[in-house]
Amino acid sequence: MLIKIGKRLFKNLIDKKNIFSFFSGLSLVFAYAPFSQWWLALIIPALWFNVIDQSSVKNATKQGFFFGLGWFCSGISWVHVSIDQFGGLPLAISLLLMLFLCIYLALYPTIACYLSAQFTHNKKFNLWLLPAFWLISEYLRSVVLTGFPWLSLGYSQIDGPLAAYAPVIGEVGITCLILIINVLIFKLIFKAKQQIPLVNILQSTSFLVVILVTFSLQNISWVTPTKKSIKTALVQANITQDMKWAPEQEWPTMLKFLDLTRVNYDADLIIWPESAVPSWEPAVQDYLQAVNRSANLNNSAIITGILNYDNKTNEYFNALIVLGNKNTNDAEGDYFYNHTNRYYKNHLLPIGEYVPFGDLLRPLAPLFNLPMSSFSRGPYVQPNLVANGLHILPLICFEIAFPRQLSANFTSTTDLLLTVSNDAWFGDSHGPHQHLEIARMRALEFGRPLLRSTNNGITAVVDHQGKIIKTIPQFEEAVLKAEINLVSGTTPYNQFGNILNWFFPLTILLINLLINKSTRIKTL
């Protein structure tokens, strides 16, 4: 079976159109961090359209698959670092697993291309249908099997001019806009002679409108500075993954975090990364109480990642807790075990934090028995953390890629966004750079400063415009200190979500369906 699939895949790969589609998708990786050549996302799809425009349903489906396969083979290659180093599998098997993951993800652009050809009167691929069906397929990618919305096209624009749209239509809307721009470029450059002059004029006008709106949005500020600032300190202890959960390293790790913190108590808010305390919360109460008293004596607050075991429900949680909160007006200001000023991760990472069909998969390989892979979900909506009077919206690691979850937890009192992570799983790859890129987009969409605290980098402070204020590079032990200016107000995207994103592509889809119906009636 696998041999037949491999032969068929190889046969298709040597087709010139398929090769072009594959390498078009492959080259998109350079549009994202750490390369950040955002302009490539505005050119590569337009070039790729030459091999898919007006294709049959079968050919459009095939080109969509190979484009998606190349896109994800290069874009999420960093996942293989964790599988190879910590999965306990032979190289050939780990590479095969990566291939299956990329094939699965490639199904979503495949679906978009299939539908863009299927829903036409002549069963030929229609570029103007692609933005609508692409949005639908990307939505499915963000929810099916808990979702994996990584590498969405809009993230590539965080340092480009289209970033100005983020507070209005979000990253999802920018993705749609990228596709529309590519369609316009393709039509005006490669198809102008085949179109009537009126169509060319309308498309040129549309392109100019996009440019004018883009520049107009650059000068709009959606939120208002409060003239209040806070001092923050983010601790990056740089603990290697192979040492993090070693029993003999538990106390040295906890003491390292405390030592790095002691000289930074002048900060209002101190952040430790995901699972910074490498033990279960009930087992280290003496340590936590000592840290809590120390922070209180210095009028500071510490937010740290920790694991909790609830002996009443027998559930495990990936958590964030607040220490040293004595002077806040919150009813449960000071720390005590199981106080409510905490956050439990909701969106768990498949395999890493929970194993689907665990009874079947766990016996097969060490990959399915990674440390801490049996967590329970926290509630989808939870109160913001309160630390030194600040209201902080937390997300742990992978959750920052889900704007709907952030929106559901955002309140009028939210001062800061916080994301903590342990990217040591992915080594010196482009994964952590893409992770920071995603976090920056959230700050821009929701108009709030963001703190990103990681175990080994990239730790960063980001302002409400998605601009990096300061960072600590990967694999360095350091403390990032920065002063953050707070803001108030809300962005249109925070108010309306993705409603605006769907209007234009779905309007085009509706018009096309009406044209198809009219054409069929005339044919009859």
Q: Which residues are catalytic?
A: 274, 345, 397
Work out the angle between the directed axes of helices 166-190 and 431-446 (0-180°, nearest 10): 110
Buried b (16+ CB within 10 A) or exposed e, 405-444: bbbebbeeebbbbbbbbbbbbbbebbbbbbbbbbbbbbbb
Structure-token pair, residue 271: 């952040």
Contacts of 303 (CB under 8 A, 6+ apart): 269, 270, 271, 272, 320, 321, 322, 323, 385, 387, 392, 394, 418
Contacts of 208 (CB under 8 A, 6+ apart): none
How far apart (Å, rounded) are the C-alpha atoms in residues 139 and 136? 5
Pick the closest to residue 322 from 338, 337, 342 (CA basis). Answer: 342
Pick the closest to residue 324 from 315, 316, 332, 333 (CA basis). Answer: 333
Pick the closest to residue 161 from 216, 208, 227, 94 (CA basis). Answer: 216
Angle (CA) 39-506-168 rounded to 5° is 50
Q: Are 24 and 46 in contact (CB under 8 A)?
A: no
The residue type of 102 is C
